[in-house]
Structure 1
Amino acid sequence: MGYAISSFDDIAAFQPVVNGVGGNLVAIFASRLSTALHRTSVQGSVPFWAPKKWYQYPLHTFGRSANPESKTAVILAFLAVPGHLLFYFVISRVKIYYNSVNVATMTPSFIVFYTSVAILQVILLLLICYWLVHLTWRKNMNPDNVCIPYLTAIGDLLGTAFLAICFYGLYWAGETRLKTS
């Protein structure tokens, strides 16, 4: 991240937003999944609605009617869009007010690419969350205590990496105004 900030000043304004939104949404999902597990099964056992194979987790996370929280996952993934657009608008207005705006961050290509990597981060976090909550439940651990710190750390790692990919990708695609030096 230090290297990316030395190349792109504006990345520092977006990094807490990407990491914060992803971390908060996945914490909500982990808590709801944990509550569903506590209601429907005994800790350490597999609930009737849980996937039986590892490759079924993506389908179960977002589309399985047996999963009591699949609709929640879809809603949380879609909430990332207006959330990131709102924060983008606030960041750009504050930067305009202080005359520190980089016009390259106000292009439609930046907005689309930034929103895309932010949503990808949230979707990956929700998938990892679904798997991790079930794994800790099967290992006879309380997911409320174990999963949220891991998920927010993974969210910070993914968010920082995806944000750097966003800036570097746009720079390599020809948006040279993003680079500060």
Structure 2
Amino acid sequence: MGKSFEALLPEHEAFIEKQHIFFVGSAPLSAEGHVNLSPKGHDVLRILSANEVAYLDLTGSGNETSAHLEENGRITLMFTAVEGPPMILRLYGKGQVVLPGTPEWEKLSPRFTLLPGARQIIVVQVHEVKTSCGYSVPFYTYEGERKTLQNWATKQGEQGLNDYWQAKNVTSMDGLLTTLGQKLSTDTV
């Protein structure tokens, strides 16, 4: 059944690269805070090493993961086979948000196709890799990526995206400041 590893093995990397969707989980420290679980599509994940992965984070209606990483750093990425042999793979680690205009962004962004609406890169230092059976996960067939977000972001333009981020992405639903929120608050001081 389930097995635990200190780092990604080549077969884990091959499994991850075949997946068209993954899920990101994070939570605040407060017991009253909201646990966040976000699906991620498109070709946005990169394996940087056996203990480090990164994904290009696109604009969303919230920015919970960023706020949780600022508060406590905890993050889990989950991949599940919906085609082929069953398996679930989880990456447990500490995350960091990398914003455009920083040296870290300049170093990492060339590894990605920068899609319209790209807001930040989440880098995860993986301390545990865990696999489990996935026997109860149903089969699904991949049909393609939705272009809705990219079309929306292109229509907004740079100023429209900045306005949207200011309105929707500076704090979490529990009132925690995001990395973007911290940057925007220091830029206006």
Which protein is bigger by CA-based radius of gyration? 1
Range into which the TM-score falls when normalised by the shorter chain = under 0.3
Length-normalised TM-score, structure 2: 0.20
Structure 1 or 2: more strand by fraction: 2
